[in-house]
Copies of this chain bind each other. A is one copy, B any other.
Amino acid sequence: MDERLDWIAVDWGSTRIRAVALGPEGVIATAEAANTAHPGAAGHEAALADLIGGWLAPGRATLVIACGMVGARHGWTEAKYRAVPAGTDPAEALVRAPAADPRLDLRIVPGLSQDRPADVMRGEETQIAGFIAGNPDFDGVICLPGTHSKWARVSAGEVVGFRTAMTGELFALLSTQSVLRHEMAPEGEDPEAFLDGVSRALSRPERLATELFSIRAEGLLHGLAPRAARSRLSGLLIGAELAAMRPFWLGQRVAVVGAPGVAAAYAQALGAQGVAAECAEGADMVLAGLAMIRARIRSARA
């Protein structure tokens, strides 16, 4: 409990929940936990109470603005998707969520949906809002790599369309649970093997099915190094994503918003295709997006 507390920002991902307590002069405290919330409002409220209950002052309702899976069908309360084309600023579409604890005034940021081709996002729309808040004239494509990588076309303050690739999830499954795990180092990078994988996948995307098993065979027959195997897999999957997303990045202005390591890998892969992407830190952009919404609520009240 801190007297300076003004509001709390929550990034509710499918695997992690990250909360930031903010006052007039910025960050007061941060907290993070695995997302182990049970489906529904009670389960989610219990998980949030574990994380930030100690920050809340008695006798008043603290504003909490949350984005991500908290607004999914089995989340706290469903925040229906906004359909694209949609403004990058989601402030007017916030959904109030019921809370048993009177100290909570919870607002959920809805995700975005696209009818054809069918696609959805929850959480990334807030990173996009944060990026655009800092780059209001941006016209181009925002790539948000992750478990489910998103590519969004942004023009004139609107998300025009977007697509998702399951690259991060595929990498996790293949590197830890498939036969390829026998060839993999648990960490480490081999930049040459990474770019080789990107190039293979981009030049012959139809061969992905066989390129993956080649990692196993080259380990058995030619002693492919475990670190090179890991980077090759990463390169093949990111290359396959770039192949699918070519209409998004070819000849476009591209910004990569994500965790520094993975954003740098995407920027490197794009750079090898002649695209000079700018990078922004994903966690900063979530906070910037939520802070922009906070400011809009304040000005609406004023």
| Chain A interface residues toward B at CB < 8 A | 14, 73, 81, 113-115, 117-120, 148, 163-167, 169-170, 173-174, 177-180, 205-214, 216-218, 220-222, 237, 240-241, 243-246
* Pairs of residues from A and B, 7 with the lowest C-beta to C-beta distance, nearest first: A205-B206, A165-B209, A118-B217, A209-B244, A206-B243, A164-B213, A118-B218
Chain B residues contacting A209 (CB-CB under 8 Å) are 165-167, 237, 240-241, 243-245
Query: Does the CB pair A115–B167 fall under 8 Å?
Result: no
Q: Which residue in B117, B120, B211, B214 is a CB contact (below 8 Å) of A210?
A: B117
User: Is the CB–CB distance between B240 and A208 below 8 Å?
Assistant: yes
- A165-B213 contact, Cβ under 8 Å, with A177-B177, A179-B148, A207-B244: yes
Total copies of the chain: 2
Contact A166 B148 (CB under 8 A): no
- The majority secondary structure among interface residues of chain A is helix
B118 touches A214 (CB 8 A): yes
Question: Residue on B with the closest CB to A241?
Answer: B209
Check A246 against B206 for contact (C-beta < 8 Å). yes
Chain B residues with CB under 8 A of A120: 216-217, 220-221
Question: Could you show 15 A-B contacts with beta carbons less than 8 Å apart?
Answer: A114-B217, A117-B210, A118-B218, A119-B217, A163-B210, A164-B213, A165-B210, A165-B213, A169-B179, A206-B243, A206-B246, A207-B243, A208-B240, A209-B244, A210-B245
Query: In the bound complex, what is the Cα–Cα distance between A165 and B220 (angstroms)?
Result: 16
Residues of B contacting A170 with CB < 8 Å?
178
Extra pairs beyond A118-B221, A173-B173, A211-B244 (13, CB < 8 Å):
A81-B221, A113-B220, A164-B217, A166-B209, A166-B212, A166-B213, A167-B209, A173-B174, A205-B208, A209-B237, A209-B240, A210-B244, A210-B245
Q: With the chains together, A144 CA to B234 CA distance in Å? A: 28
* Nearest Cβ on chain B to A211's Cβ, whole angstroms: 8
CB of B164 within 8 A of CB of A169, answer no
- CB A55 to nearest CB in B, in angstroms, measures 31
**Highest count of chain B CB atoms <10 Å: which of A214, A217, A220:** A217
What's the least CB distance linking A177 to chain B, in Å?
6
Which residues does chain B contribute within 8 Å of A216, judged by CB atoms?
Answer: 120
**A139 nearest CB across to chain B (Å):** 23
The listed residue (B14, B113, B174) touching A221 by CB distance below 8 A is B113
Tell me the bound Cα distance from A237 to B212 in angstroms. 13
A244 to B177, CA, bound (A): 23
Complex: A166 Cα to B206 Cα, angstroms: 14
Contact between chains at B164 and A119 (CB < 8 Å): no
By a CB distance below 8 angstroms, the chain B residues around A117 are 210, 214, 217
Q: For A169, A210, A241, which residue has the most chain B Cβ atoms within 10 angstroms?
A: A210
Question: With A and B bound together, what is the CA distance between A113 and B178 in angstroms?
Answer: 20
